Structure 1
Amino acid sequence: MSTGPQPSTAATRRTRPRDRKLSILRAAETAFAKNGYHRTSMADIARSLDITSTALYRHFKNKEDLLAQTLIGGLDTTLERLQRARRTDENGVAILDELVAMSLEFRGLPRLWQREVRNLSPDVRRGVLMRVLRLNVQLRHAVAMRRPDLAAEDVELLAWCVLSIAVSPSHHNVQLPTEQFATQLGAMIDAVVESDAVFGGDARRPYPRTSALTDNTDTTDDALERAIRPERLLVAAARLFNTRGYAAVGIEDIGAAAGIAGPSIYHHFESKADLLTEIVERSEQWIVLYTSRALMVGTTTEQSLSLILKSYTQFALEQPDMIGTAVTEVIHLPETHGARFRKAHRDGVVRWARLLQVARPELELDAARVQIQAMTTIVNDAVRNDRIRTRPDLVDAIGAIGERVMFATAAPEHLAGPNIAGQSALSP
């Protein structure tokens, strides 16, 4: 019989990390951002941490509670750090620098509040959205400090654009060294805040918040009604997918919104996924069309870039439901269609980035992609933001802002740094 020292039970028992809850929140942020709320289970998150699902339920009631705490915790941390920066900020620079640092540290968080907040209960959802508005208030303060000459509504527009630039990395996976990434985002923000953007230059009426896939007017012509019914179904589906989310919408919902019985949809589309595929493919077709036209019409690289930006902004304003669906619901496409769309999207971004490289040969391809992604994020966010989308000058204002984003210049050593391979979040 051994008389040597025996290992104690306490020493060999697996101890629970003191930061277990924080590690769960970080893992949940990554999983929800990558795979979506409905395609992520508590078991998936537990496996990513090499723990049991039971360990998750010690900290969170259910998956919705985990999503809520992920969003609220991340936003509260961001607000706290911005408020801390504000206390010593004399010119608005510290707040914006802190915003960039937070956006890279919590890179998946913005995608969650834009895409997954509708999966929360109304009260919790309001709490998340109020925090986003408080975040904008902090940015308005920073912009106003640097641009006291601007009217309040223009300060708010620039504040939303600054937020879009900062959170744009949430919508792609291009990898750059952290210092280079932060410097490039900061340069784009500075270019927007400090430039004399054109405001009030176009008196066109505000765009209505409707999808313009087709005119949805009533008709008594039965033959015409049958012909346009698929278009009405696409309009209804795009609006519902954009506002409620694909997973929360049923065939009966789409039929009711289009004024027909739900099962009648199957005369035109094989499934709900078929409707989503058609909406996303149409958005890609429009983008290819206006990009090709801009390249043919533009007499210089800069003019072609400006035409593409203006066409994209007008298209997004006319079809916010199509754009919103393409931005947030692609994750629900059948795998074959999803892979094809992600490749088409990535090829489109790369094509645009290579065109920017012609005008700005100092940019590495990944740096040019970051610039393009920031600009398109501004457009995508603006057309879905009811606080600014009704501005009568929005096309001209976003055009002026977008051009400054594309041509914002950081120090040369930051733009031509090591080219770390990375792919868009929408790439295969």
Structure 2
Amino acid sequence: MSTTGCASGQSDRAVPTGTIGGRVRITQRGQAKESRRQALLAAAAGLFAESGFNRVSLEDLGAAAGVSGPAVYRHFPGKQAVLGELLLSVSRDLLDGGRDVVLGSPGAPEALRRLVAFHVDFALRNPDVIRVQDRDFSNLTEADQAEVRALQRSYVEVWVDVLARLFPQVEASDLRVRAHAAFGLINSTPHSVRHHGRRMAVKSARPILEHMAMAALTVPAD
């Protein structure tokens, strides 16, 4: 599904070599490769957010992750693939996490509250990724753009399904507007949090964001 992989065309993810107690066993070499791959993605998030995709080179990425520029090709076929995997992996994590939140909630009211807390936590922990999504989405390949959009639409529907249980009289299209409004409110805050005392800003922003998002999501229908 994603465009990641090493230059030889073989996947550079950790390779299972057997099972222990029913669990997949990963080689130390595979674990080290996956750690370097994740370090490259983390470095990419910070560099792309700070300078923009077009101003960051593979050498910059490698240096930030502690490897040489050419070594990046052992994990990704190019800079565009790094961007693709960064945004695809985040979109998958949001969708999977949102679904898990709903499955683990005793009812729609609690599911909505937990979804809001989940998304606020994501936004406050990943301000760089949000900035990259906003600014550099157009630099993805067409295939990655389509996949990211599909994952994000599915994530929206997780919220809409919960809202529909709370407000069965409201049209689904209106519930989507509420969900998108809540995302916009939550996702905008990390832009300002970067420029203040981060620890205190995050601590104070969390309850405000959760309260405001719940208000936007649960506004009475006309």
Short-chain TM bin: 0.7 to 0.9
Aligned counterpart, 1:340: 147
| CA–CA separation in structure 1 for the residues paired with 2:101 and 2:65 | 35
String of CA shifts for 1:310-352, please: whole Å, max 9, x gaps.
0111122222222332343222111112112112212221331
Q: Aligned letter for 1:398?
A: L
| CA–CA separation in structure 2 for the residues paired with 1:272 and 1:230 | 13
Aligned counterpart, 2:12: none
Correspondence list, 1:331-410, <5 A: 331-386=138-193, 390-409=201-220
TM, length-normalised to structure 1: 0.42
Please give the root-mean-square deviation of Cα atoms over the aligned residues, in Å: 2.1
Match of 2:98 among 278, 288, 291: 291
The SS at the match of 2:203 is coil
Q: Aligned letter for 2:188?
A: D
| CA–CA separation in structure 2 for the residues paired with 1:401 and 1:392 | 15
Correspondence list, 1:204-353, <5 A: 226-353=33-160
Q: Aligned letter for 2:133?
A: A
- Segments of 5+ residues of structure 1 without an aligned counterpart are 1-221, 413-428
Structure 1 residue 375 displacement after superposition? 0.6
Structure 1 residue 300 displacement after superposition? 1.6
- Segments of 5+ residues of structure 2 without an aligned counterpart are 1-27
Structure 1 residue 258 displacement after superposition? 1.8
| CA–CA separation in structure 2 for the residues paired with 1:227 and 1:233 | 10
Aligned counterpart, 1:97: none
Aligned length: 190
| CA–CA separation in structure 2 for the residues paired with 1:242 and 1:280 | 12
| CA–CA separation in structure 2 for the residues paired with 1:372 and 1:267 | 39
Q: Answer yes or no: is the 8 Å Cα contact 2:95–2:154 preserved in 1.
A: no
Correspondence list, 1:111-122, <5 A: none
| CA–CA separation in structure 2 for the residues paired with 1:287 and 1:225 | 25
Query: What is the identity percentage for the equivalent residue pairs of Structure 1 and Structure 2?
Result: 25
Structure 1 residue 226 displacement after superposition? 4.8
TM, length-normalised to structure 2: 0.77
Compared with structure 1, are the counterparts of its residues 357 and 328 closer, same or farther at alpha carbon in structure 2 (3 Å cutoff)? farther
Structure 1 residue 274 displacement after superposition? 1.0
String of CA shifts for 1:109-129, please: whole Å, max 9, x gaps.
xxxxxxxxxxxxxxxxxxxxx
